[in-house]
């Protein structure tokens, strides 16, 4: 009983100094329920409460950083294995990949626009690279017949040079191949996350005089569906 009384008195002194329950338990090995009972009437100053809040927030940040690090490592491990699962892609497989990609993202011919050429726009650099590879390898389109157009919000006008260089590097084509930028109206209430430093707009890849190629791609799509 004497020992418990001494522990209680020591715990109260430590609490009055502004220590948290965890800090006190590290010094006094008692149950948390006992400590809570001893300290329930002990108030803290505003400064002490602020210190404990800051300490709690710092602990939460450390936990978040730790979780983020574990998530990144896990993701990298999974993706490395997944990359090996794919292996080398044949020309036939590339053909089917490109057909599915254009089916999902490309410009289609419609009754009111039967002369629609081949166009595909996206902000994903990997998708742009795959589409260009498909055009040149499968469709045998020469580089001189490929053109580009950037769609960008006015809020990014100050970084237009960096944007042009970014897409030029991604596509592997000189900036001279890029047509005039098409400016998009900015929506202040947008929920998009890529609107700051990592925002490079959307790149549209087109092919000159490609109405018949678009018709051929539609035939490939129908062939995929049939077989």
Each residue's pLDDT tens digit, 156-202? 989 999 999 999 999 999 999 987 899 987 664 555 555 567 899 99
Domain boundaries, the chain: 91-226
d(CA 59, CA 31): 22
> Is residue 102 predicted with pLDDT exceeding 90?
yes
* Average confidence (pLDDT) over 15-42: 84
End-to-end, the C-alpha distance of the chain in Å comes to: 85
d(CA 169, CA 97): 23
The region of weakest confidence among 40-44, 71-75, 124-128, 164-168 is: 40-44
Residue showing tokens 């595909």 = 120
* Average confidence (pLDDT) over 192-214: 86
> Which phi and psi (to 5°) does residue 203 adopt?
-110, 125
Please state the pTM of the whole predicted model. Answer: 0.72
Confidence of residue 2 (pLDDT cuts 50, 70, 90): low
In contact, 117 and 211? CB cutoff 8 Å: yes
Q: What is the pLDDT of residue 128?
A: 98
Q: Give the Å distances, CA to CA, from 109 to 115, 158, 210, 211, 212.
A: 7, 36, 11, 8, 10
Number of neighbours of residue 63 by Cβ within 10 angstroms: 10
């Amino acid at each position: 009983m004497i020992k418990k009384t001494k522990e209680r008195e020591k715990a109260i002194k430590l609490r009055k100094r502004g220590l948290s329950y965890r800090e006190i338990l590290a010094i006094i090995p008692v149950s948390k329920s006992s400590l809570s009972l001893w300290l329930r009437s002990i108030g803290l100053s505003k400064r002490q409460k602020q210190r404990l809040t800051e300490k709690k927030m710092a602990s939460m940040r450390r936990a978040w950083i730790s979780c983020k690090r574990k998530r990144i490592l896990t993701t990298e491990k999974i993706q490395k294995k997944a990359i090996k699962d794919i292996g080398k892609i044949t020309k036939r497989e590339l053909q089917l990949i490109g057909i599915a990609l254009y089916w999902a993202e490309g410009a289609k011919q419609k009754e009111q626009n039967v002369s629609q050429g081949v166009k595909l726009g996206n902000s994903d650099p990997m998708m742009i690279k795959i589409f260009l590879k498909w055009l040149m390898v499968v469709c045998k389109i020469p580089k001189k017949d490929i053109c580009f157009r950037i769609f960008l919000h006015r809020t990014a006008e100050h970084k237009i040079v960096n944007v042009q260089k970014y897409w030029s590097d991604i596509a592997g084509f000189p900036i001279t191949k890029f047509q005039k930028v098409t400016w998009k109206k900015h929506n202040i209430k947008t929920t998009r996350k890529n609107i700051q430093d990592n925002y490079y707009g959307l790149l549209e890849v087109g092919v000159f005089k490609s109405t018949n190629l678009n018709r051929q791609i539609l035939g490939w799509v129908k062939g995929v569906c049939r077989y």
